[in-house]
Amino acid sequence: DHRSIIGKLTNYFITNQFFNLIRVTSYLLIYPAYYLLYGNVGDELSELDGKKKNNH
């Protein structure tokens, strides 16, 4: 197979387009979910720390 690198990449992305779509979609959904989840957890932890400091 003596294709150019661009030809190989183009062929790879065209033949695996469905899997690439799933992969990109999963990244787009997972990273914001992690950000929101851990962002909210961080806010709750900081509120708990504030309550502990106020009680003492």
Tens of pLDDT along 12-54? 777 777 888 888 888 888 888 888 887 776 666 666 666 655 5
Please report whether residue 1 resides in a domain: no
Please report whether residue 11 resides in a domain: no
Domain span at 48: 18-55
Please report whether residue 6 resides in a domain: no
Position 27 scores a pLDDT of: 87
Position 48 scores a pLDDT of: 62
Alpha helical stretches, state H, 1-16: 5-15
Position 52 scores a pLDDT of: 59
State in Å, rounded, how far the first CA of the chain is from the last one: 73
Residue with the bigger pLDDT between 34 and 55: it is 34
Please report whether residue 47 resides in a domain: yes
Count of domains observed in the chain? 1
Burial 28-56 (b: 16+ CB within 10 A, else e): eeeeeeeeeeeeeeeeeeeeeeeeeeeee
Please report whether residue 4 resides in a domain: no
Please report whether residue 7 resides in a domain: no
> Residues near 8 by Cβ (< 8 Å), separated by ≥ 6?
1
